[in-house]
Structure 1
Amino acid sequence: MAQHLRLNFVDGRWVHAESGQTRENTNPADFTDVIGEFAESGGVDTDRAVDAAAAALPAWRALGPIRRAAHLTAAGRLLAERADEIAAVITREQGKLLTEARGEVQRACAVLEFTAGQARLLGGVTAPAEDERTFAYTFRRPIGVVGLVTPWNFPLAIPMWKVAPALLSGCTAVLKPSPLTPLTSALLVEVFQRAGVPDGVLNLVQGDVAAGEALVANPGVAGISFTGSLGVGTAIHTGGAHRLLRTQLELGGKNAVVVCDDADLDRAVDAVIHGAFGQAGQRCSATSRAVVDVRVRDAFLERLVPRVAGLRVGPGDDPASKVCPVVNTVRRDAALAAVEGAQRDGGKVLCGGGPEERPGLPEGCYVQPTVLRDVPWDSELAQEEVFGPVLAVVDADGFDDALRISNSVKYGMSGTVFTASQSRAFEAVERFEAGMLHVNRPGVGAYAHLPHTGAKASQYGPPECSPEVFDFYTAWHSACIGY
């Protein structure tokens, strides 16, 4: 690994944190595998990055979206060429299966391809004027310097779906990734550097709370796009409210798959396993609740539990692994504590429930895929995000009760229904209090050209991805020209 990738990237140069402090990054699948020491930045580092972005803004904005898109297209080619290398880094650093990491790289390439294609569409409209000899129209302007604060669960795709539209819009950016996945973010920045993005347009500040707080507090930052927890997102929003900081917040989820009494149970089981245990449940759209009609609950569990119990937990680079480790010991302990709490509330563990331990498995953050039944709909496990491989099965007495239970949480990221009834399918889509809706398919995943968005406490501000994302990175203006 190149030493410079362990540093910050400010104004086109790889630089140490001002304090000289570093943070060790280890492989969650094997604690003996130390990836490296990465910069631990503070307010001085963040402010320098913001200054660099502000200095680069006028020229980048003047370049225009079509020429800016050429840099995104070049970055897409470079990313595709390095797909295997970057996927391996994602697996080593974040823990996910190599197949999942390769899928994430493909998703990032798709985001770049879609975003670059928006360059010729990033305009306004002409409008009738009320006065004679007047031409009226609307147009967009970039909002300025933006801070991009990203999580560890998709260390390439989520930064990409912020960086790409920010740069195409004409904004300049400071990326502050999770301290758990610093190398993947450095590789992303390096791709844009090699694609010819001018110095100062995209800057990288590694670190944790101090760097993030400085980004929110800096008056030179016009907007913050954040993906992460509800608590941190709320703090960002309130922290910048006094200066009317623009925020785009994609927050948590407590997503339900509703299994109706007429559902194709085999298909529903396939989707629940994919949604609940793919990436060890560490997705904002993960299936953490199966809300199952009591008339088919036993048949559903008879199909589900043996398959979950047979899932092999192991390192992401082991082809035999079907479930990866969670990202660190904090997430491991939180998942196990959630299972213990659910049992106190009356839930019964049908499989899993503890750490995965077996001969030959490295010491790491392994949690057994866990299914609990008889989970009360209003208990903590059924209401709060776990972000681990833990599925709560909640009984529902019919379709209306299932939708009531699904909508009972404060979050609204994803909603899914399995039914053979066309009427129920459309009614569920209408009544789910969620941003991304699915029928008879897994409740995770989204397309680069569709809004990645939530409802209620899962989302604040414009969606990610899709043409609607530009409503965050640009501001609308109108002009009336007399002639």
Structure 2
Amino acid sequence: MAVAPGDIRFEVAGHLTGNFIGGQWVAAQSGQRRADVNPADFTDVLGEFAESGGADVDLAVEEARRALDGWRALGPVERAAFLTRALRILDERSGELAYAITREQGKLLKEAAGEVRRAEAVLEFTTGQARRLGGVTAPAEEERTFAYTFRRPIGVVGLISPWNFPLAIPMWKVAPALLAGCTAVLKPSPLTPLTSAVLVDVFRAAGLPNGVLNLVQGDAAAGEALVANPAVAGISFTGSLAIGTAIHAGGAHRLLRTQLELGGKNAVVVCDDADLDKAVEAVVHGAFGQAGQRCSATSRAVVDVRVREEFLERLVARVAHLRVGPGFDEASELCPVVDTGRMDAALAAIAGAQRDGGKVVCGGGRAERADLPDGCYLQPTVIRDVPWDAELAQEEVFGPVLAVVDAVDFDDAIRIANSVKYGMSGTVFTASQARAFEALDRFEAGMLHVNRPGVGAYAHLPHTGAKASQYGPPECSPEVFDFYTAWHSACISY
């Protein structure tokens, strides 16, 4: 799939529109297909991708099961050689991947390029863990006895990934799964099938043995079949709380291992001593970067009332000038949301906030400009005076909508920040070292930040949440292998 600079309607290679099972690109057995549409321009259809069902999933799982023993036998150092080759190929195809991400997901091209870099960093870090996947020696209680621990891969794993990071999130599932010695079936979102197809093609080009990594395109039917297949030892899922809990419940009867990264309703606490310019820039980046479509997006600004008006004045002045447009337009600062369903949900959330007493001070509707194509464009929206317990302040929107909530002091701000069921990210802006460390101690969130944007973490740090945002081991970081491997102990008398 060659990509000419500036040409957004590049031709998608036909084989990439199918499933990848047992080392072969194949059509869905049902023959059904689904259109992949550019959310920035509804007239731009990338292609028709496989719409798979249970039969496709079962075939992919069987191929992964057949490949498991041979892949495990290679050992982590030899397995890492395949990942190293994939990293080189990924870098060679980085431009192609960035264009694919922008065209089917909608994010700005510079955001897509950043996602490619993040995927490369994750793959590089994971490859470096090959010589660290060991155990420990331990004291024995008897004479002439040697005791130690070691890891084994859990087996075939199902990897269910979302549309908001269609390259980085599949990568931080695929890479550790393969290095650990598992074989895998990847089921990406039906909204972003192309990016995952190119990712799998990168590993194919790296010479990965047949059946080690399989790709099944499709929607709920494919995901449900993956959870139900008894040969699948674990499911790693990133997505909504409702689907995550359904996956966990669906596999509970057979003790299916699950790793679930779920929703977020993340707060930036702005104290009365905060650097307001830095706080505003961080909130703009966190709330409106990628149109707010991140599990770690800033969806609440909890602001001390003593600086509220000044903060709002600076924030609205900044947000009002954000240029909404297609991801391929270098002048664009805010991309479209991924589809009409997400757009409608965001508009409904805005209307609900107004019913609850919130006041829209910026945006509030669809972005309409003569030069915009027909797409999923929303105005960046700031709503003030949102009650801390209103729906907009409690439930995830996944769109460019920011709730500004008043706090009377620092303690009240922390209480409000912790009032939601989620706990993905927490951020505080303050000049006080004592307040900063107290906030880190009291935030009920997995990823914490001080005086910086509250989105994400590094490739070598745990990507994790608290409360309803996370179940099971974190992703990224060495701790991810606690999902893909099981611990064993051995005692040897001599």
Counterparts of 1:136 and 1:360 in 2: how far apart (Å)?
Answer: 70
> Among residues 334, 344, 347, which one is paired with 2:345 in the alignment?
334
> Among residues 116, 129, 136, which one is paired with 2:127 in the alignment?
116
1:229 aligns with 2:231: no
> Among residues 325, 335, 339, which one is paired with 1:324 in the alignment?
335
CA RMSD of aligned residues (A): 0.3
Structure 1 residue aligned with 2:108: 97
Unmatched tracts of structure 2, length 5 or more: 1-11
Aligned residue type for 1:481: I
1:215 aligns with 2:226: yes
1:182 aligns with 2:193: yes
Structure 1 residue aligned with 2:411: 400
- Superposed counterparts of 1:32-111, under 5 Å: 32-111=43-122
Give the C-alpha shift of residue 46 in structure 1: 0.1
1:149 aligns with 2:166: no
Counterparts of 1:181 and 1:109 in 2: how far apart (Å)?
Answer: 19
- Superposed counterparts of 1:186-197, under 5 Å: 186-197=197-208
1:127 aligns with 2:138: yes
Say how many residue pairs are matched: 483
Give the C-alpha shift of residue 414 in structure 1: 0.1
Counterparts of 1:210 and 1:343 in 2: how far apart (Å)?
Answer: 37
Counterparts of 1:15 and 1:446 in 2: how far apart (Å)?
Answer: 37
1:346 aligns with 2:357: yes
Structure 2 residue aligned with 1:257: 268
Counterparts of 1:33 and 1:23 in 2: how far apart (Å)?
Answer: 14
Give the C-alpha shift of residue 445 in structure 1: 2.3
Determine if contact 2:456/2:463 at 8 Å carries over to the other structure: no
Unmatched tracts of structure 1, length 5 or more: none
1:310 aligns with 2:321: yes
Aligned residue type for 1:418: F
Give the C-alpha shift of residue 235 in structure 1: 0.3
Give the C-alpha shift of residue 131 in structure 1: 0.7
Structure 1 residue aligned with 2:493: 482
Counterparts of 1:85 and 1:10 in 2: how far apart (Å)?
Answer: 23
Determine if contact 2:135/2:148 at 8 Å carries over to the other structure: yes
Determine if contact 2:474/2:480 at 8 Å carries over to the other structure: yes
> Among residues 454, 464, 475, which one is paired with 2:475 in the alignment?
464
Cα deviation, 1:63-112, whole Å, max 9, x if unaligned, reads 00000001111111101111111100100000000000000000000001
Counterparts of 1:178 and 1:350 in 2: how far apart (Å)?
Answer: 34
Normalised by the length of structure 1, the TM-score is: 1.00
Cα deviation, 1:324-349, whole Å, max 9, x if unaligned, reads 00000000000011000000000000
Cα deviation, 1:162-185, whole Å, max 9, x if unaligned, reads 000000000000000000000000
| 2:404 partner SS | strand
Give the C-alpha shift of residue 306 in structure 1: 1.1
Counterparts of 2:79 and 2:363 in 1: how far apart (Å)?
Answer: 50
Counterparts of 1:256 and 1:2 in 2: how far apart (Å)?
Answer: 42
Counterparts of 1:475 and 1:10 in 2: how far apart (Å)?
Answer: 26
Cα deviation, 1:257-282, whole Å, max 9, x if unaligned, reads 00000000000000000000000000
> Among residues 291, 306, 311, which one is paired with 1:300 in the alignment?
311
1:375 aligns with 2:386: yes
Task: List structure 1 runs of 4+ shifted beyond 3 angstroms.
Answer: none
Cα deviation, 1:9-55, whole Å, max 9, x if unaligned, reads 00000001010000011000000000100000000000000000000
Counterparts of 2:187 and 2:94 in 1: how far apart (Å)?
Answer: 22
Counterparts of 1:400 and 1:75 in 2: how far apart (Å)?
Answer: 49
Determine if contact 2:160/2:236 at 8 Å carries over to the other structure: yes
Cα deviation, 1:174-228, whole Å, max 9, x if unaligned, reads 0000000000000000000000110000000000000000000000000000000
Counterparts of 1:112 and 1:70 in 2: how far apart (Å)?
Answer: 12
Structure 2 residue aligned with 1:417: 428
1:284 aligns with 2:295: yes
Aligned residue type for 1:65: P
Aligned residue type for 1:464: E
Counterparts of 1:322 and 1:280 in 2: how far apart (Å)?
Answer: 9
1:435 aligns with 2:446: yes
Aligned residue type for 1:384: E
Normalised by the length of structure 2, the TM-score is: 0.98
